[in-house]
């Protein structure tokens, strides 16, 4: 089993299809919850959720101690930012892409799919 990061991209100022009314918001949430339950049932849901916008982001740079610089704002100033993400378990890219299509349907946003490279605990396996 492999893991993939599904990044949900939002474009600043773009409101096409975004839920505006409380009813639309409710329908949106309903779709997302149904999808996450479907992922759960398939054993695909590792973690995921929506993020606050870039205005809530903080960047930490540099090494340790006095070199460390903490600043307000996102790492990259861009029109597009990650509005949320899922980490899914999938056997191969096609399975991950099938989940990505469902996330696109539920959220009406574009998705970038990236495979995890096994490092750290993921590589060492449980018990480390």
| Residue 91 found at the interface with another protein (CB under 8 A) | yes
The residue count for binding another protein (CB under 8 A) is 9
Least Cβ distance, residue 89 to another protein (angstroms): 12
Check if the beta carbon of residue 38 is closer than 8 Å to that of residue 70: no
Check if the beta carbon of residue 90 is closer than 8 Å to that of residue 2: yes
Q: Name the one residue in this structure whose structure tokens are 């378990």.
A: 89
Check if the beta carbon of residue 32 is closer than 8 Å to that of residue 45: no
Question: Which segment (14-22, 26-34, 56-64, 86-94) binds another protein by CB under 8 A?
Answer: 86-94
Taking CB under 8 A as the criterion, the residue among 16, 72, 77, 94 binding another protein is: 94
Taking CB under 8 A as the criterion, the residue among 93, 112, 121, 122 binding another protein is: 93
- Residues ≥6 apart with Cβ < 8 Å to 81: 9, 10, 12, 53, 54, 74
Least Cβ distance, residue 57 to another protein (angstroms): 28
According to CB under 8 A, which residues from 102 to 121 bind another protein? 113, 115, 117
């Amino acid at each position: 089993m492999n893991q993939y990061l599904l990044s949900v991209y939002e474009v600043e100022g773009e409101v096409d299809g975004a839920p505006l009314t409380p009813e639309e918001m409710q329908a949106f949430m309903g779709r997302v919850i149904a999808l996450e339950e479907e992922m759960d049932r398939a054993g695909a849901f590792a973690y995921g959720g929506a993020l606050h916008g870039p205005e809530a982001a903080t960047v930490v740079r540099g090494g340790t101690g006095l070199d460390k610089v903490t600043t307000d704002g996102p790492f990259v100033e861009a029109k597009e930012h990650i509005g949320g993400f899922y980490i899914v378990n999938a056997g191969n890219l096609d399975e991950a892409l099938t989940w990505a299509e469902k996330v696109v349907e539920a959220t009406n946003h574009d998705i970038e799919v990236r495979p995890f490279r096994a490092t750290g605990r993921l590589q060492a396996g449980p018990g480390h």
